[in-house]
Amino acid sequence: MHSNKLSSWMKGAILIGVVSSTLSAAPIFGTFNIAGTITVTSTGLITWRLNDTPFPPDESKIGPGATGSFAGLDGTTVTTHDLNQGVEPVGVSFPDQPFIAFDAAPLLPILEINFIYQGIYPSTNCGTLPASVGQQCTVSTPTSPFNFVNNPPPAPLGPQATATFAFSGETSDHLSVWFGNFTSQFDVPFQTVLAAFAPGGSGSVTNTFSATITVTPNSGVPEPGPRTLTACGLGLVLFSAALRRRTTQRRSH
């Protein structure tokens, strides 16, 4: 009898363990926005910092509207690791490197970066003056991820530029992939921005940025769904029944 009671209890415990393992291995998914300040140097270094005082380095803030695995993280911060073109070259796949970690949810896997997309515009207008609305530019030497566009209004009030750039990678548990679309807005033409990298320039550009990050399960890895929750509920029911049966039998003896 004791052996049967122990067997029932163990079966329940094993089932709970299997279900817990399945849940812990579920891929993360959803979208979230981040914002902060970016600095790009002529040596290929990209660094980040929070916009809020005391402006700590390597931090960005999650904006409103986070979904899926990131729901509830609005207003919290993420650690955003620096990038170096010597380690993370543009337009070439490289080994996974830590990029975004969730400060308020440390159990979430880290978003690791393994690709920085090359800019898509020609370099022919990068130094063209005077600056005018509609000009586009991606610096070709060194290879750049930044897509510059001069936007309205026209002179004498404008133009003003935007720069977009894109990164991608996978989660540290290798169950999900992610894509990030970044934007930075300037109140001057991109020719003025790029002058910082010309001889006699400061050698770096600092500006605010925003980004939308989208995370999806790897192909063949399903998102957590009703079957997972049903299995969890069934496991709990069987485990509870086994414990009640064991307690009743002990009292009867």
pLDDT of 232 over the 90 cut: no
Task: Name the DSSP class of 188.
Answer: S
Q: Which two tokens stand for residue 206?
A: 């600092």
User: For 80-107, what is the mean pLDDT?
Assistant: 97
Judged against a pLDDT cut of 60, whether residue 1 lies above it is answered with: no
Which of residues 147 and 235 earns the better pLDDT score?
Answer: 147
pLDDT of 25 reads 73
Residue 67, pLDDT score:
98
CA-CA-CA-CA torsion for 229, 234, 236, 238, nearest 10 degrees?
A: -170
> Is residue 10's pLDDT more than 50?
no
Alpha-carbon distances of 130 from 89, 159, 190, 193, rounded to whole Å: 32, 10, 11, 14
Weakest-pLDDT range from 102-111, 228-237, 240-249: 228-237
Residue range 104-114: mean pLDDT, rounded: 98
Task: Copy the structure tokens of residue 22.
Answer: 């399945």
Residue 222: pLDDT above 90? no
Burial label for 152, CB within 10 Å (0-12, 13-18, 19+), is: exposed
What is the average per-residue pLDDT within 194-214? 97
DSSP state of 31: E
- What number is the average pLDDT over the span 149-178? 97
What percent of the chain lies above the pLDDT cut of 70?
77
| Confidence band for 144, pLDDT divided at 50, 70 and 90 | very high
Query: What is the pLDDT confidence band of residue 219, given thresholds at 50, 70 and 90?
Result: confident
Mean pLDDT of the chain: 85
Over the stretch 13-67, which tens digit does the pLDDT of each residue have?
433 443 344 444 799 999 999 999 999 999 999 999 999 999 999 999 999 999 9
pLDDT, average across residues 76-98:
97
